[in-house]
Each structure stands twice: as structure tokens, then as C-alpha cells.
Amino acid sequence: MEQRFTKITTDGAARRGRYQTVHGSFETPNFMPVATRGSVKGIDTERLKGCGAQIMLVNTYHLWQRPSSELIQRVGGIHRFADWEGPILSDSGGFQVYSLKDIRALSDKGVEFRSHIDGSKCFLSPEKSIQIQEELGVDIAMALDECPAATREHDDIAKSLEMTLRWAKRSLDARQNPNTSIFGITQGAGYRDLRTHAAEALSELDFDGMAIGGLSVGEPKEMMYEVLSYHPRQLPDHKIRYLMGVGTTEDLVEGVRNGVDLFDCVMPTRSGRFGRAYVNGERPYINIKNSGFKEDMTPVDESCSCFCCRKYTKAYLHHLFQVGEMLGPVLLSIHNLTHYLTLMAEIRENIEQGTFNTVYERVKAKWKNFREE
């Protein structure tokens, strides 16, 4: 298979690259907005493009349950269904399934559970997960993994990792469509020997990209940063590296500095719905519900050129949140996604210029000041 990821240049361990799919390419490092059920909450795809999004993520479990992957396949695939022409990545569905209360059995075969919609019996295996993702018609499918709580004992995590590695191989073997990229996922929590083993074992398989799983799942931030300090570099240099479910802008620059190329997180949209707006300048974010913004007729971020900042003021957004108008959450989600995606564009430019460290230091300093306030 041709090489889909191209490494263009580097700046220290930070990498500037491009990933090619049949639905176009995306530049790396990059961040994927999360369209859980096939829409980024409240944001149409034209505005999403306006935020600077090049690729979006959808959740396999949710779309499998409703409207079903078979339906999406029958109507022509997820791109047509959700009106998104660019690349789409899906998760494996595992993460959502493990968070269900009603899991019946987890074995090498796969996982048996009951649907949260209608209680019906469902079964997810590595083969089934790839089948569903190919029915959705995504560009990038994730191998099914097990994602145990990071607090579990070494031997438990090791045992779980062995299953994830067996599943990785089966996921690759399940591919039917040569256009589907499949990424493998490392696990191993905060145990360096397990992470190292995962990296080595998965590197031997013919994945189109490598993902780091099992982080940002409730463990202390120090543990994540410790894993980031060595683990991305253990992954093959010529493959794209995706840090799943991460994170704050501080986490993004920390990831990039350690060689991560791709991120996703619900944080910009979820925080936006609750009134948090990420901003440039001294503080990482403001809370628009703060009464200090009642009569503030400046944009959320003077330095931001997003739709929300071009058109609306803090005073108006504060009002929308006060009275519960849904336009408020929508506008702040647009702003926050733009903030994230603009940072990624700036990171790419600075890697090209060999000045990534200036962005890194700036973002780190602002979160540090904020914690010490």
C-alpha cells in the first residue's frame, strides 16, 4: 500500500506532515472536532469549515446504534449523510461500549453488551468494529482495543494489553476496503515497560497510523506527560501519531513537542456549551457568564477572526447564556474550535520556521500562570 503520511519537516521532535485520503488530505499537526452522532453539536458543516477544520471525528458506537451503519452505507456513506467532504476518522466504538453499565461479557472473542437505546443484545469484536466503520465509509478506522482504567495493577494492564495486541492483528485482517486506513492503538497506562512493548509489537504490523490510547481517561496529568515524554518517539517515525481524546491547548503543545501529529477532544465544544471561551493573551480562558462581561462590547477575543468574534460581543454572549438562548453555546463552540484550529495552524507554521518552541513556551507559560494565580 502507498504511503499515506508524508513527513514534510521537523523541529526537534515536533513534526510537520500531511495525511492523504480519498476525501482529500489534512495537514499535521492537526486537531479533529468531534461530531459524536454525525454533527458537531450545533455547528453546520459550512461554519465548521469556517473554523478551519480539515478532518472530523465521528463515534462508531453512537452511529452504529442510531441510525445504524447499514443505513448510512445504504444512503451513500457518512460523508454524504453528514455533508462533510473532507477526511473523517471514526473511533472503534470500544470506548463507549466499556462505559456502558450493562456489559455482559468481555473475552478474546469480543464484548457482549446491551444497547443503551433499546436494551437489545449487541456484540462488538475487532472484526465487527472494522465492518461497522467500513459501512460508515470513514477514511480512517481505529482498531478495537481494550482501554482499562489507568489505576489498575501492572499485571491487569499487561493482560489487557496482550488482548489489545491480538485484536490489533485481527482488526487489520478484517479490512475489506483498501481505501480504509486503519490505525493501531497502544495501551499500557503509565507503565513504561508495557507502553514500550505495545509500541514494539504494533510497529511490526502494517497499520497506516499509530494511536496512543488510555491517556486522558482520568489519570493524573503528570502520568500523561511522563508517557508523552518517551512514548510517541517509540512509534515508527514514518507513521502518523494520534493522541486520542486530548486535550487542553497545553496538552496539544506538549504532545506536538513530543512528536504527536493528531488530536481530538470534545473540550472546545463541550466547554463552549457551558460558557467557557478559550482566549489568547494572559489567561487560557474566560467564563462568559461572569457578570463582569455584562456590558463588555468587545469580542470574546480581540485577536480572533472567527465568526463569533467578527460579529458578536461579550455583552451579547453573556446575555444569551443568562437567558438560556441556544445561540450562545453555538457561537462559543465556533469560537473555541477556531481557537484550537488556529493554534494548530500556528504550530504548523512555526515548525516549518523552526520556531515551534516559541509557541510551546507561550502556551505553557499561560497555563502555568493560571494555575499559580
Instruction: Report, as residue numbers or ranges, the catalytic residues.
Output: 91, 264
Question: Should residue 49 be labelled a site residue for a second copy when binding is judged by CB under 8 A?
Answer: no
Residue 29 per-residue DSSP state: S
Q: How far is the CB of 360 from a second copy (least distance, A)?
A: 34
Nearer to a second copy, 223 or 315 (CB): 315
Question: Should residue 270 be labelled a site residue for a second copy when binding is judged by CB under 8 A?
Answer: no
Q: What are phi and psi of 279, to 5 degrees?
A: -135, 155
Residue 179: how many CB atoms within 10 A of its CB?
A: 13
Region near a second copy per CB under 8 A, out of 78-86, 238-246, 254-262, 351-359: 78-86
Please pick, from the candidates 153, 295, 302, 349, the single residue that binds a second copy as defined by CB under 8 A: 295
Question: Should residue 37 be labelled a site residue for a second copy when binding is judged by CB under 8 A?
Answer: yes
Q: How many CA atoms lie within 13 A of 258 on its CB side?
A: 21
Nearer to a second copy, 117 or 365 (CB): 117
Q: How far is the CB of 62 from a second copy (least distance, A)?
A: 7
Question: Should residue 62 be labelled a site residue for a second copy when binding is judged by CB under 8 A?
Answer: yes
Please pick, from the candidates 3, 22, 49, 80, the single residue that binds a second copy as defined by CB under 8 A: 80
CA 312, chain centre distance (Å):
28
Q: How many CA atoms lie within 13 A of 147 on its CB side?
A: 24
Query: First and final CA of the chain: distance in angstroms?
Result: 52
Residue 289: closest CA among 332, 330, 250: 332
Question: Should residue 221 be labelled a site residue for a second copy when binding is judged by CB under 8 A?
Answer: no
Please pick, from the candidates 178, 297, 372, 373, the single residue that binds a second copy as defined by CB under 8 A: 297
Residue 65 cell numbers, joined: 446504534
d(CA 126, CA 144): 5
Please pick, from the candidates 10, 25, 45, 287, the single residue that binds a second copy as defined by CB under 8 A: 45
Question: Should residue 38 be labelled a site residue for a second copy when binding is judged by CB under 8 A?
Answer: yes
Q: How many residues interact with a second copy (rule CB under 8 A)?
A: 39
Nearer to a second copy, 1 or 297 (CB): 297
Question: Should residue 158 be labelled a site residue for a second copy when binding is judged by CB under 8 A?
Answer: no
**What's the alpha-carbon Rg for the chain, to the nearest Å?**
20
318-347: which residues touch a second copy (CB under 8 A)? 318-320, 322-323, 325-327, 330-331
How does 306-323 read in b/e, with b if 16+ C-beta sit within 10 Å?
bbbbeebbbebbbebbee
Residue 258 per-residue DSSP state: T
Q: How far is the CB of 338 from a second copy (least distance, A)?
A: 14
Report whether 129 contacts 93 (CB < 8 A).
yes
d(CA 343, CA 254): 13
In the complex, which residues of this chain contact a second copy (CB under 8 A)?
37-39, 41-46, 62, 66-67, 71, 74-76, 80-83, 294-295, 297, 307, 311-313, 315-316, 318-320, 322-323, 325-327, 330-331
